[in-house]
Amino acid sequence: MAPSGASAAAKPQAWGEHLSATAVRRAGFDPALLLVVPAALFMLLLFVYPFVYGLVLSFEPKEGGALANYHHFFTSNRLWPTIGTTLKLAMPATLINVFVALPIAYRMRQPSPWRRTMTALLVVPITLGTVLIAEGMLTYFGPKGWLSQFLQAAHLYDGAIRLTHNYWGVLISLVVSGFPFAFLLILSYITGIDPVLARAASTLGADSRAQFRYIYLPLLAPGLAMCFCLAFVQAFSVFPSAVLLGAPAGPTRVISIAAYEAAFEQYDYSLASAIAMLMGFVQLLIVAFVLSLRGWFYKGPVGGGKG
């Protein structure tokens, strides 16, 4: 009898606790939010602090006024064209990656053994990293590489093939390293769309092309914008392949090379910070523009049923 009495007495207390917890939540504070604190601290230490430090540093040049570094960047012929050079590499690479990955991923929207093989194959370049890809490409695409030897042996093309140490080498490497990422991301967006929608569209008279245009594309648009941004940011900060596969003195002197030189060849950390800030600013502009386009599209759930 006693234990049951005790548990009966404990009950109202538990109820009381429950009520007070609800009351706190209603007042706008959920204790579960405390779990965010470690992550937030981590972000503050590892990201926000270096960012603010760099920002402040960029306004403290070796000589001249607070804006001297920025003034120098936009007046130096060695510095400001790097923005254009980088965009010229990053934009085409991103567009190729996203818009080539899209039709292929669409074709593979149904599960198949083929899709599993393809997915597994594409994960490899992601794990290899850009340096290894660059080394491989030097072997395959160089003037004495396999591709060149094969084309010449087959008499398909007899001229010199220059696919390394220039713009094309870097572009190809950006595609090789960025494509799998774009493909896997888009594939996951596509497989998240309920295939019954396409079946419904087909019973209403939509062929495969119309299903893509009217069902998949609008539902994918926000995901494509996100994928574009991530792929772009990745390509915009290209460094190893621009050095290893490109012509870092000229056509592929990208903005990260300029920042590297300022920091580690001229030991001007302040200028390097300013370049890094500008690099971030350009990325931010493009990302903000692309994400603002998302406002035009439907952003709700992509299922066909209730819920």
Name the residues that contact another protein, by CB under 8 A: 194, 196-197, 199-207, 210, 214-215, 218-219, 297-298, 300-306
**Cβ closer to another protein: 140 or 297?**
297
Minimum distance between the CB of residue 195 and another protein, rounded to whole angstroms? 10
**Nearest in space to 276 (alpha carbons), one of 62, 64, 82:** 82
DSSP-based three-state secondary structure for 267? coil
DSSP notation for 172-188: HHHHHHHHHHHHHHHHH
Q: Scan for tokens 């495969």, then name that residue.
A: 208
Reading the block at residue 301, the tokens are 């759930």
> Which residue, 147 or 206, is less far from another protein as judged by CB?
206
Give the shortest CB-222-to-another protein separation in angstroms: 10
Q: Supply the angle between the helices 167-191 and 113-128 in degrees, to the nearest 10.
A: 140
Cβ-based nearer residue to another protein, 111 or 218: 218
What the block records as the tokens of 30 is: 């959920």
Q: How far is CA 9 from CA 13, 18, 19, 20, 276, in A?
A: 7, 15, 17, 18, 65
Residue linked to tokens 């493009």: 286
* Alpha-helix runs per DSSP H in 192-239: 195-203, 208-211, 217-236
Min dist. Cβ of residue 160 to another protein (A):
50
- Nearer to another protein among residue 81 and residue 195 (C-beta): 195
What tokens does 213 get? 């245009």
Minimum gap (Å) between residue 193 Cβ and another protein:
10
Specify the DSSP element, H or E, that contains 71: helix 68-75
Nearer to another protein among residue 88 and residue 109 (C-beta): 109
Closest CB to another protein among residues 158, 207: 207
Nearer to another protein, 127 or 203 (CB): 203
Residue 138 Cα to chain centre, angstroms: 25
Q: How is residue 35 annotated by DSSP?
A: G
Closest approach, Cβ 194 to another protein, in A, equals 7
Please report how close the Cβ of residue 205 comes to another protein at its closest, in angstroms: 4
Tokens for 103, please give them. 């039709």
**Residue 244 C-beta: closest distance to another protein, Å:** 44
